[in-house]
Amino acid sequence: MNKELEHSFVELLQKHQNIVHKVCRLYTNNTDAHNDLFQEITIQLWKAYPKFRGDSKFSTWMYRVGLNTAITLYRKSKRRIYTQEFDALEFKIKAEEYDDTEEQQLKLLYKAVHQLNDIEKALVFLYLEDKDYREISETLGITEVNARVKMNRVKKKLKTILNP
């Protein structure tokens, strides 16, 4: 029975692993940290899998456990905090030589998103993943109205970071 459960879980995880990678991409700055977080999310997903009833989509369930791990459960290593500070410094230098091409703008946008706090990142992540406000509010445990308000603030904050 346990083997069967394990098999079905790994199959689903293998299929949807990009969701985990995308969470890691937003919450980490280097490959080591990305792999560390990927590992922890995988463990948390497996631990929670027996409780997965199948009444929601596996992917929807993954967003929740993945974000919970990144925001709350995962213990950041010192190495990562250091790297983040370094990146912020690099961003300031680059912002001064701002180039208007789309590619350059995207690069700056990704860096700006990395400067947001954990909750703001979660909002941006779910937005980028095309989730509606109902799902965003259910994942974070806030009301739909507050999710909208916060999203607008995040958009403004990004604008300020990009055009200081």
Query: What residues line the site for other proteins (CB under 8 A)?
Result: 6, 9-11, 13-14, 17-18, 21-22, 25, 39-40, 42-48, 51-52, 61, 64-65, 67-69, 71-76, 102, 105-106, 109-110, 113, 117-119, 122, 124, 127-130, 138-143, 146, 149-150, 155, 158-159, 162
CB of 74 to other proteins, least distance (A): 7
Number of CB atoms found within 10 A of residue 60's CB: 13
Query: Cα–Cα distance between 54 and 61 in angstroms, integer?
Result: 9
What is the Cα 65 distance to its own chain's centre? 11
Comparing CB distances to other proteins, the nearer of 91 and 158 is: 158
CB of 140 to other proteins, least distance (A): 5
Query: Cα–Cα distance between 9 and 23 in angstroms, integer?
Result: 19
